[in-house]
Structure 1
Amino acid sequence: MIPTTRLDAPKVARPTSGNARLTEWVPVTVWALLITGVFAWGEVLHRTGRSPQDDLPPLHATARLLTWQVLPAAGTAVLILTVLPVLARRLRWPLLVLLGWAAAVAWASALAISDGAAGFIGPITQPGEYSNGLASIGDHPLRWLATFTQKAQQYPIHVKGHPPGPTLILWGLDAAGLHGPGWAAAVVITAGSSAAAAIAVTVKALAGEELARRAVPFLALAPLAVWIATTMDALFLGVGTWATALLALAAAPPAPSRRRATVCAVTAGLLLGALPYLSYGLLPLFATPLAVLVLARPRWPVVAVVLAAMTIVPAMFTLAGFWWPDGVAATHQAYLATGGSSRRSYLYFLIGDFAVLGLLVGPAVAHTVPTLARSLRHGIRRSMPQAECAYAGIALLASAALVGAATLDLAGLTRGEVERIWLPYAAWMLIAPAAHMPPGRRWLAAQAMTGILVQALIHSPW
């Protein structure tokens, strides 16, 4: 029996007229045309020598064709399609959260296995990756941290292009006896896939259990799972989503016990404070926890605890000798020295990055855009029944993530490679199909097919 707490959303999506249904297909057509057009444009740029950095712009990848190798992914997709929508309606909530997480792990792993063992450990062992910077730490992480900015230019590209947090995490795994890329891959996939659970928890806290249940299959069977195994940005995704989920648990009514609220608030603050030390490109992601505060309107003591806890990680890094602004300056220096993504066309990637975002989130998200846009507009105007404000809640969360990604895009900071960089942003947009009337299996199938086609046709170093 499904629990009935916090079922704020209507049990059936609002009926739409024939014209409205036709209108909702327009974004899917735009989605397909945008992706097709951007890849065609990129091929022209590459053939004429104006995009030499990428073989398959706007992706940092190469074209290929897999056939029987994607059978494990196809089988996993069929199993999830058959079982998860049913269990999403019937299973007890805690078990459903764990099942969604397990399904996300299985889906990401099934996609990666089409490349064999290299699909798991290959992205972690690339020459420019974090693991190749571990030797510079040795047995002295504090000494390494204190001299990080001074010696940054000596390190591999991803080490000097990011704060020291990711490299320290891998060093910590190694120091704990979990040696080798296999353990690192397991941690990355587990953490990245946990975003399915964390986002579902957030939706339940802010928009009700029914919409959260509808969202679970789409969170688990997402096209972006192609890049969950095993880019380190998937780890950033896991940290960011759990920070937001714990903030929602601490802030959203009905108020939890004081002890539980404090624990959630402190942990949320710690994780939020850690985000800037994982990637400089995660600052715009704070739009999502801000959306949580707008929706939950928490008591001021909760906000105070979160803000206080957010200072702990920055204080620890600063006391250890790493000054974050100096890290930004060192990364900028490396960017100027190598040319970085500045050699890529700003105009092309301004548009092309959104085509990649379309691949990450899939056609089901595009199909829901008109519904969520109406819900967000009506929610702002307060002109909808209170029960339907839940739709505005998921629209605000998804829109906040989109605003964060668009900020990076407009600033020219993400010219390419957003298939990994935008993972922490794109995952929040996967809740949009929860506005569909269940069961929605055909859109879930479209999501799975998108992921399989991307894996079969594209070889990514991530």
Structure 2
Amino acid sequence: MTATDTRPQDVPAPVARRGSRAGWIAVAVWAAGIAAVFAAGWYLRRAGLATEDALPPLHARARSHPLTGRMAPAVAAAAALVAVLPWAASRVRWRVLLAVAWAGAALWAVALAASDGWGALARPLDAPTEYPAGLAQVRPDPLEWLRTFTERLGGYTTHVRGHPPLPTLTLWALEKAGLPGTGWAAAFVIAAGTSAVAAIAVTLRCVAGERAARAAVPFLVLAPLALWVATAMDAFFLAVGAWGTALTALAARRARPAAPDGARRDGTRPAVAAAVAGGVLLGGLPYLSYGLLPLFAVPLAVLLLIRPRPRVLAGLGAGLVVVPAAFTLLGFWWPDGVRATLDTYLVSRGSAQRSYAYFLFGDLAVLALLTGPAVAYALPRTAHVLWRAARTRAVSPAAAVALPACAALLGMVVLDLSGVTKGEVERIWVPFAAWLVAAASLRVTGPVRTVGSVRTVGSVRADGARWWLAAQAVTALAVQALVLSPW
């Protein structure tokens, strides 16, 4: 069921016009929906009905003096990336492109955060509610801390008691490795979070072909969600999920790779090893955040597209049980952690007090900000290619890009409807939203050959891509200039 990379074909003008019209309607709905949700939040707060956040639906506040001159480095980084990324996506070698994508994503995230000063990179982790503030309780005896984690949950900092033990233990391990302090923690989170761009590109190459993956890279790099990659711990969660999925896709794809001479060589052992490694990472997701269970829809979509050999599935299954087994043997029972966290959530005066009805729509508006107008423009085509794939039972490269994106969207909708996520989703959505961003490439790639004055470069329509990349960058710059976030 893996997608095959086909040559572009001309699309009739009426069909192209209808698709373009649907895309612009989606962008109008995107803008109007965001404006309406912020207006409703302002009204509710003014009426005293929403006091948990200063700028609902964001857990943030509006800047009294919008950033201007200090945004110059971020503006320069955006301009350079908009100019270079479409060219690089079409011209440089694949492995070099992955390095460029990682570096570009790190540059973009750091440039945005540094507009508040270099200290802003680590400042979010300095808050007394964050994970590093809870390390003092771990240092004397990490094993005892883990065994008693659930029963002592109420005495921990907000983020420690709101999550399983693995994020705190990760920072403790970083400290034990000789990298103490929130500066090193911030560098680790940013490096890990931005590496997810390469992981998602690798996954898309496995399921949709290299041309489709190359086209998605510029949008993955310049996604507005970079605002919360520097620095929210959820960026690390993004990396774990993305690399776990990428290793799973590589394992499924390379079980029996073809040799250059056309013969076939047995690649089962490396594939199984990759599957085990991917399973270990994916098995750690529920121990990073209880809300990451719906993210398993993404690797499931990848497996449906590639249909791996049984040995690869066995290796994946073996890897999936490693982290749960280790934590259980060391004294942390995951269902008890869920129940204890839910109890502390219900008795708190934080997110549990937020309006379900408002944040049912507010969370989606925040998702729209994280993904940007380019994704909104591509959503009608995304739905169309999936409908066509379901009807014809033939998966095109575009459908292979769309399926993981829609799987991530489904996970977010499930969380939104459940009421577990009411506010603060600008960070919670990050591990999911990055997959949805890849769908933005469907409007500048795929089975459409450009004609006339629009230049075609490989699989990327460079002129069209740059306009939408610029729109993505402007969205992120506007939010950074107008909104002060604790992350």
Tell me the TM-score normalized by structure 2: 0.91
Task: Kindly state the Cα deviation for residue 329 of structure 1 after the two structures are TM-superposed.
Answer: 1.3
Paired residue for 1:165? 166
Give the superposition deviation at 1:436. 2.3
Instruction: Say which is worse superposed, 236-245 or 139-148, in terms of deviation.
Output: 139-148
Instruction: Work out the CA distance in 2 between the residues paired with 1:14 and 1:192.
Output: 38
Following superposition, the deviation at residue 304 of structure 1 comes to 1.4
Structural mapping, 1:390-405, within 5 Å? 390-405=397-412
Which position in structure 2 is the counterpart of 1:309?
319
Aligned to 2:20: 21
* Counterpart in the other structure of 1:149: 150
Matches within 5 A, 1:77-96: 77-96=78-97
* Equivalence for 2:54: 55
Residue type of the alignment partner of 1:412: G
Mapping of residues 363-374 of structure 1, within 5 Å: 363-374=373-384
Match of 2:357?
A: 347
Counterpart in the other structure of 2:467: 442
The equivalent residue for 2:260 is none
Indicate the residue corresponding to 2:70 in structure 1.
69
**1:199 maps to amino acid:** I
1:8 equivalent to 2:5? Answer yes
| Alignment of 1:194 onto 2:163 | no
- Counterparts of 1:345 and 1:155, CA distance in 2: 26
CA separation of 1:10/1:449 partners in 2, compared to 1, >3 Å: closer, same or farther?
farther
Residue 419 of structure 1 pairs with residue 444 of structure 2: no
Task: Point out where structure 2 has 5 or more consecutive residues left out of the alignment.
Answer: 258-266, 445-460
Q: Does 1:433 align with 2:440?
A: yes
Secondary structure at the counterpart of residue 152 of structure 2: helix
Residue aligned with 1:51, SS = coil
Unaligned runs of 5+ residues in structure 1 are 1-5
1:9 to 1:164, Cα distance in 2 relative to 1, 3 A: farther
Q: Matched residues in 2 for 1:164 and 1:12: separation?
A: 51
SS in structure 1 of the partner of residue 42 of structure 2: helix
427-436 or 181-190: bigger deviation: 427-436
What is residue 3 of structure 1 aligned with on the other side?
Answer: none
AA aligned to 2:166 is G
CA distance in 2, matches of 1:359, 1:370: 18
CA distance in 2, matches of 1:412, 1:9: 42
Matches within 5 A, 1:1-400: 8-11=5-8, 14=11, 16-64=15-63, 65-252=66-253, 255-256=256-257, 257-382=267-392, 389-400=396-407
The one-letter code sitting in structure 1 at the alignment partner of 2:309 is: R
Q: CA deviation at 1:383?
A: 6.3
Q: CA RMSD in A?
A: 1.5
- Between 49-58 and 429-438, the greater mean CA deviation after superposition: 429-438
Amino acid at match of 2:70: Q
Conserved? CA contact 2:255–2:312, under 8 Å: no
Looking at structure 2, the residues matched to 83 and 340 of structure 1 have their Cα atoms a distance apart, in angstroms, of: 43
Shift of 1:195: 1.0
Tell me if structure 2 keeps the 8 A contact 1:13–1:436. no
Q: 8 Å contact 1:7–1:209 — kept in the other structure?
A: no
Identify the residue that residue 478 of structure 2 maps to in structure 1.
Answer: 453
User: Quick one: distance in 2 between partners of 1:180 and 1:332?
Assistant: 30
- After TM superposition, the structure 1 stretch with the greater mean CA deviation from structure 2, 374-383 or 438-447, is 374-383
How many pairs are equivalent? Answer: 455
How far residue 254 of structure 1 moved from its aligned partner, in angstroms, is 7.2
The separation in 2 between residues aligned to 1:244 and 1:178, in whole angstroms, is 28
Question: In the TM superposition, what is the alpha-carbon distance from 1:395 to its structure 2 partner?
Answer: 1.0
CA distance in 2, matches of 1:17, 1:283: 38
Does the 8 A contact of 1:253 with 1:296 survive in 2? Answer: no
Distance 2:427 2:201 in 1: 21
Q: Which string of whole-angstrom CA distances, capped at 9 and with x for unpartnered residues, describes residues 338-367 of structure 1?
A: 143221110110001100000000000000
Indicate conservation of the 8 Å contact 1:88/1:217, yes or no: yes
Change in 2 beyond 3 A, CA 1:9/1:433 = farther
Q: Does structure 2 retain, via aligned residues, the 8 Å contact 1:365–1:433?
A: yes
Contact 2:285 2:292 in 1 (8 A): yes
Asked if 2 retains the 8 angstrom alpha-carbon contact of 1:7 and 1:210, the reply is no
Tell me what 1:407 maps to. 414
With over 3 angstroms needed to count, the CA separation of the structure-2 counterparts of 1:294 and 1:262, relative to structure 1, is: same
Q: CA deviation at 1:251?
A: 1.1
Deviations 1:261-285 (A, max 9, x none): 0121011000011000000000000
* Partner SS state of residue 126, structure 2: coil
Return the alpha-carbon distance in structure 2 between the equivalents of residues 348 and 368 of structure 1.
26
Partners of 2:228 and 2:297 lie apart in 1 by 23
Structure 1 residues 95 and 170, CA gap change in structure 2 (3 angstroms): same
Task: State how far apart, in whole Å, the 1-side matches of 2:167 and 2:152 are.
Answer: 17
In the alignment, the residues of structure 2 paired with residue 317 and residue 219 of structure 1 have an alpha-carbon distance, to the nearest angstrom, of: 33
Aligned amino acid, residue 72 of structure 2: L
Shift of 1:253: 6.0
User: Following the alignment from structure 1 to structure 2, what is the Cα–Cα distance between the partners of residues 35 and 10?
Assistant: 38
Cα distance in 2 for partners of 1:17, 1:413 equals 40
Shift in Å, 1:213: 0.5
CA-CA distance at 1:69 after TM superposition = 1.3
Judge conservation of contact 2:255–2:271 (CA < 8 Å) in 1: no
Would the aligned equivalents of 2:377 and 2:443 in 1 still touch at CA under 8 Å?
Answer: no
The DSSP-based 3-state class of the residue aligned with 1:229 is: coil
Q: Secondary structure at the match of 1:149?
A: coil
CA contact (8 A) 2:150 2:332 kept: yes
Give distance in 2, aligned partners of 1:172 and 1:352.
Answer: 36
Name the % identity.
54
Call closer, same or farther: CA 1:369–1:391 in 2, change over 3 Å: same
Alpha-carbon offset, residue 138 of structure 1: 1.5
Taking structure 1 as reference, are residues 12 and 414 closer, same or farther at Cα in structure 2, changes over 3 Å only?
farther
For 1:341, give the aligned amino acid.
S
TM-score (norm 1): 0.96
Tell me by how many angstroms 1:112 deviates: 0.5
Contact 1:265-1:305 at 8 Å conserved across structures:
yes
CA distance, structure 1, for counterparts of residue 308 and residue 7 of structure 2: 24
Q: Is the 8 A contact 2:291 2:415 kept in 1?
A: yes
In 2, the alpha carbon distance for the partners of 1:138 and 1:68 equals 43
- SS where residue 363 of structure 2 aligns? helix
Once the two structures are TM-superposed, the CA of residue 62 in structure 1 deviates from its matched residue by: 0.4
